[in-house]
Amino acid sequence: MADTTIYCQICGQQHRLNEMELSFGLPDDVFTIPEAEREHRVTASDDICVVDNQRFFIRSIVGLPLIDQPGEQYHLGVWAEVGAPEFKTIFDLWEEPSQSDHPPFTAHIANNIPFCGQTNGLEVNLSLTGVNTRPQLKTLAADSILGKLQAEGIYLNDTMRFLHFDQDLPEEL
Ligand SMILES: [Zn+2]
């Protein structure tokens, strides 16, 4: 996957698939907190984000299968919110090599992913995958846009639209 290079019809350059991940820096709701208050109310690292010591977020991956690259996935780097008990369990398992044996946790996506409708708040299963890899999210609502994309996959050409989502592109994939 890392070596897959594709010509981008949007910007005209070559992109490597592993550099095309659309990643969200923080959960969307963090930006509803006035900037002056964020320093006191938000604790964030690359992996976790805690708001007011009562909302808990984990940096995770939404994988979309690539129809024309069987076995490969396009990765969206999104935040998932979990409850306090789930957060504690995940925290305790963080350095545990066998963490992927734990059953999936109920979580909710905490970002609106472009082209995927309303995903902030969408219920998902969060599965731990390993000490050096981010948790994977699986949409539970099969009839949601994201649920369909996770089930049916997208074409390699569609991934460029995520990379350039902030440009003026049609709404539908
Ligand atoms: Zn491009």
pLDDT one-digit tens code per residue, 104-116: 999 999 999 999 9
Residue with more model confidence, 4 or 158: 158
Which pLDDT band, with edges at 50, 70 and 90, does 55 fall under? very high
CA of 16 to the centre of ligand 1 (A): 10
User: Does residue 2 register a pLDDT over 60?
Assistant: no
Chain segment 104-149, per-residue pLDDT in tens: 999 999 999 999 989 999 999 999 999 999 999 999 988 999 999 9
pTM of this structure: 0.91
CA of 6 to the centre of ligand 1 (A): 9
- 47 C-alpha to ligand 1 centroid (Å): 27
72 neighbors 42 (Cβ within 8 angstroms): no
Selection from 146, 159, 173 nearest residue 4 by Cα: 159
Residue in 22, 26, 28, 53 with CA at minimum distance from that of residue 122: 28
CA of 160 to the centre of ligand 1 (A): 6
CA of 14 to the centre of ligand 1 (A): 7
DSSP E strands in 88-130: the ranges are: 105-109, 123-127
Residue 77, C-beta contacts closer than 8 angstroms, at least 6 positions apart: 21, 22, 23, 24, 59, 60, 61, 134
164 CA distance to ligand 1 middle (Å): 7
Q: How far apart are CA 40 and CA 149, in angstroms?
A: 38
pLDDT digits (tens, 9 = 90+) for 35-50: 999 999 999 999 999 9
Q: Encode pLDDT of 56-93 as tens digits.
A: 999 999 999 999 989 999 999 999 999 999 999 999 99
Domain limits of the chain? 23-154
pLDDT of residue 149: 96
